Amino acid sequence: MKILNLNEGSFPIEMDLNLNSIDVPDVGILKDTLNVELKISKLSLNLLKCDGYITATFIDTCQYCLKKTEVLIDGSIDVAIKDTKELHADSSEQDQTHYQDLEYFNIDNLIEEELALIYPDIVRCDRKCLAKEDTLIEEKNLPFKKIRDLID
């Protein structure tokens, strides 16, 4: 766990992190390492901006055929950071805002939240997996077919 005091210090803060484990629910198993590049800049007294990239490979289960498959994560981070004290008083219309105590800022929480947003909602083993047709085709039961054939 990496804790920073974002109320003090010089900016921008740049980090290259390689994590071997991550604690995010509803994501697969991390295959190798989670590579994260972050740059935290201070825009004003209580407003910071975080830019960066996340890259990783996860092993997850295809939601259609239940086969183990690799999920490649390669996403960008572009989020505003504000203190939790401003959570209820914030009237800005920003879509991506991460609230956390700036004095005891936990980098892992930020990474876990961004990974949860980047991770796909539907995991498939291949692009056409959901479009595959069922191999089992049932014939309709037509009890009066022979009688209809005799009448015609």
Q: Which of 53, 36, 43, 54 is nearest to 6 (CA)?
A: 43
pLDDT confidence of residue 51: 94
pLDDT confidence of residue 115: 92
pLDDT confidence of residue 122: 87
pLDDT confidence of residue 79: 92
Q: For residue 87, give its domain range.
A: 3-151
* Strand stretches in 62-140, DSSP E: 68-82, 97-99, 105-106
pLDDT confidence of residue 6: 85
Q: Would you give the DSSP letter of residue 121?
A: S
31 and 59 Cβ atoms separated by less than 8 Å: yes
pLDDT confidence of residue 92: 64
Q: How many domains does the chain have?
A: 1
pLDDT confidence of residue 1: 61
Q: Tens of pLDDT along the chain (152 residues)? A: 678 888 888 889 999 999 988 888 888 899 989 999 999 999 888 889 999 999 999 999 988 888 899 999 999 999 999 888 877 766 666 668 888 888 898 999 999 999 999 999 888 887 677 555 544 455 566 777 777 777 76
pTM: 0.75
pLDDT confidence of residue 136: 47
